Amino acid sequence: MASPLNVVILAAGKGTRMYSDLPKVLHPLAGKPLLGHVLDTARTLKPARLCVVYGYGGDIVPATIRGDDIAWALQAEQLGTGHAVKQALPHLDPAGMTLVLYGDVPLTREGTLQRLLEQAGNDRMAVLTAHFADPAGYGRIVREAGKVTRIVEQKDAIAAERAITEINTGIIVAPTAKLAGWLGSLSNNNAQSEYYLTDTIAMAVADGLEVATAHPHHEWEVLGVNSKLQLAELERIYQRNYAMSLAGAGTHIIDPARLDVRGELTCGRDVVIDVNCVFEGKVVLGDRVEIGANCVLKNVSVAEGTKIQPFTHIEDATVGADCRIGPFSRIRPGTSLASDAHIGNFVEIKNSQIDQGSKVNHLSYVGDSTVGKKVNIGAGTITCNYDGANKHRTVIEDNAFIGSDTQLVAPVTVGAGATIGAGSTITRDAPAGELTLSRAKQTTITGWQRPVKNKGK
């Protein structure tokens, strides 16, 4: 197909069975709106013109889905698929071919659409069809002597036509100029009082055009979303396909049915991912990284040899080589961990730099801090970084030792090699190489009685 390609994506429907105020095409699949998946696939075809027809929800759809290459066409009244495509005509190149896609059919593959385009030409339109064991609800492909003559919708079909198992997916490609003429001649004299795009097939045949067909390799490529249940079913299909792709490239996915990638996940060699992990945004895992069960990673780069134990959450951070993180750790945005850092159970790190070989192993909060090399931060330590109005920074230099249950009240610096005694509250800089303490004198009160619960209460 040498002609310029127009792609029209129909995205105007409300999605009544979604039971939601959100336009159907904005519901997320794998962390991205349904329409976003269709646009991604459409762009791989390198169209000369790309038009999205929107309607329900008004400007919410174009405000959410950005793209300088998108022309937006408003379908103020939803009067059928043929009426929807007609709204796009002013944005199309009349000398080209037009491919019609659907914003709620997110899993159609590029290769399938390429095969469909190869079947089309200036004297030939093409329809993507599939054979379903249960075709209920779909328009049927009517053939005579093996050639497509028309499409009949389920509600308009007679019994013999309903027995046909070849269904119309709705995805077509046709010469734009001819398509425009057919759309202008559509009638809404049917069971739904709508202008059907499918009626253009009979018009093409009447004009002497051949109607060719192509077929997807997988049934799920042409499944649409009309309910939350169908959305969940496509989510599982998408995730299993992604997991199998990773496994095929060498990643050890413990259970492909229990993986969720809501963005892009890149894995090196010998990576192991346990069950129920979620990867959001862009995540890169280096060679020999191990991810324990029930972890969530969002926009994270993890260098080789690092082990992340179960129930760890990491977001907008970088992790160096050979680190040990978790279980039950939380690494928040702005954090970078150098190689061989250890972040243990119930530790939270926020907007901090932890240098090589440093350890925060237990029950601590380190926020807005710069931590040097080979620092040990004891259990229960917190950096008091917020004064109620502003954030302040803590600096802990190389080889410092922070005793358990210490509060470092920022802004404060702990010098290289310094030791902070357990239970201290540090409000001034601690000098390098020295022991710094801050404790009240221990007192014993003799004869004191612990309160006793009143009986009867």
CATH number at residue 151: 3.90.550.10
87 and 214 share one domain: yes
255 and 350 share one domain: yes
Whether residue 446 is contained in a domain is answered as: no
CA distance linking residue 415 with residue 428, whole number of Å:
11
Number of domains in the chain: 2
| pLDDT of 440 | 81
Confidence of residue 445 (pLDDT cuts 50, 70, 90): confident
180 and 60 share one domain: yes
Confidence of residue 133 (pLDDT cuts 50, 70, 90): very high
The whole-model pTM stands at 0.91
Q: 361-370 burial, b for 16+ CB within 10 Å, e for fewer?
A: bebbbbbbbe
Instruction: Quickly count: other Cβ atoms within 10 Å of residue 137's Cβ.
Output: 11
Q: Which residues, listed in sequence order, are joined to residue 71 by a DSSP beta bridge?
A: 51
148 and 64 share one domain: yes
Measured on CA atoms in the order 92, 94, 96, 99, is the torsion positive or negative? positive
**Chosen domain end from 222, 242, 267:** 222
% of residues, the chain, pLDDT over 90: 89
| pLDDT of 1 | 54
Q: Catalogue the active-site residues.
A: 362
Whether residue 316 is contained in a domain is answered as: yes
- Averaged pLDDT for residues 63-82: 94
- Averaged pLDDT for residues 15-21: 93
Tell me the CA distances in angstroms from 303 to 64, 320, 325, 356, one per residue in order.
34, 5, 13, 13
pLDDT of 439 over the 90 cut: no
Q: Is the distance from CB of 382 to CB of 405 less than 8 angstroms?
A: no
340 and 369 share one domain: yes
- Averaged pLDDT for residues 170-176: 96
pLDDT of 143 over the 60 cut: yes
pLDDT of 2 over the 70 cut: no
Encode pLDDT of 292-342 as tens digits: 999 999 999 999 999 999 999 999 999 999 999 999 999 999 999 999 999
Which residue range is the domain that position 44 belongs to?
Answer: 5-222
Encode pLDDT of 227-274 as tens digits: 999 999 999 999 999 999 999 999 999 999 999 999 999 999 999 999
Confidence of residue 54 (pLDDT cuts 50, 70, 90): very high
195 and 320 share one domain: no
CA distance linking residue 209 with residue 66, whole number of Å:
37
| pLDDT of 260 | 98
303 and 366 share one domain: yes
- Averaged pLDDT for residues 98-102: 98
| pLDDT of 457 | 59
244 and 359 share one domain: yes
Q: Helix or strand or coil: residue 385?
A: coil
